[in-house]
Amino acid sequence: MPLWHKASLFLDFVYPRSCVVCGTSVKERGRHLCWDCSRDVSLIQFPFCSWCGDPVQGQVDATYVCAWCRRRPPAFDRARSAAHYEGALQHCVKAFKYGKATHLVRELGGMLSSCVDVHFANEVIDAVTYVPLHSRRRRERTFNQSCLLAQHVAGRAGFEFSDAGLYRTRHTDTQALLNAAARRKNVEGAFAVRPNGWVSGRSLLLIDDIMTTGATVSAVAKALKQAGAHRVWVATVGRGV
Ligand SMILES: [Zn+2]
Ligand SMILES: [Zn+2]
């Protein structure tokens, strides 16, 4: 029996299987989102920007690049998100991140793994890494939600997992209340890579929970590229507006 499945049986024992959104009981082992609430999760489908993955209205072809990416080319090579950050998904991510419901990593990590399978199947991925929290916030929260998601994705696909020596050079305000320009400024130069030589020449899959303007993942990708990363692919669970 795979280790993750054993862990899943254990967690089912510790956490009763009820839907995290509506509270109804969930019969499927390892699930914490009922069928109705799962259907409320709006998966992102084409059309979207070929670079940043931001959904667009109307008809565009597969090479379409949005005005944001044309104006300020992101430091990552491609970003994709599993679902729109709204409704049941938003509820789930908030419970995971702020309610310390870390067992939800299986629901959210499952969505993320599917997204990676669909959008990065033809790409080389040498290792999976994640957006670091500042040490102060990491202590307050006791875990890094993106790290748990990255470990889940790496474990499911058999990719190497690494923290890539990434760290935050300073504490930053939460991005949620800032406009696009302020978000960019807030995280500019806020990430660095310890000189361990590990990143150089590697193609990395960078994981975060939510992506909105892409300022954070782009700032992290920039630090990875400056440390010599060959490619930085980005995958997030939710895409905010
Ligand atoms: Zn439900
Ligand atoms: Zn774009």
Residue ranges with CB less than 5 Å from ion ligand 1? 19, 21-22, 34, 37
* Spacing, Cα 22 to ligand 1 middle (Å): 4
* Burial status of residue 93 (CB atoms within 10 A of its CB: 0-12, 13-18, 19 or more): buried
As given in the structure block, the two tokens for residue 235 are 């995958």
Q: What is the pLDDT of residue 127?
A: 97
Helix (H, G, I), strand (E, B) or coil at 210: strand
* CB distance 209 to 234 below 8 Å: no
Q: Rounded to the nearest 5°, which phi and psi values hold at 112? A: -65, -40
Q: What is the mean pLDDT of residues 120-132?
A: 96
Domain ranges of the chain: 75-239
As given in the structure block, the two tokens for residue 184 are 């960019």
* Spacing, Cα 64 to ligand 2 middle (Å): 8
Q: What is the mean pLDDT of residues 16-42?
A: 89
* Spacing, Cα 213 to ligand 2 middle (Å): 9
CATH class given for the domain over 75-239: alpha beta
* Spacing, Cα 59 to ligand 2 middle (Å): 15
191-193/166-168 β-pairing: antiparallel
Q: What is the pLDDT of residue 16?
A: 61
Q: What is the pLDDT of residue 31?
A: 86
Would you place residue 1 in the very low, low, confident or very high pLDDT band (cuts 50, 70, 90)?
low
Higher pLDDT pick, 176 / 122:
122
What tens digit of pLDDT does each residue of 180-218 get?
A: 889 988 898 899 999 877 899 999 999 999 999 999 999
Q: What is the pLDDT of residue 2?
A: 54
Would you place residue 12 in the very low, low, confident or very high pLDDT band (cuts 50, 70, 90)?
low
Q: What is the mean pLDDT of residues 122-137?
A: 94
Q: 76-90, 108-122, 164-178, 226-240: which range is least confident on average?
A: 164-178
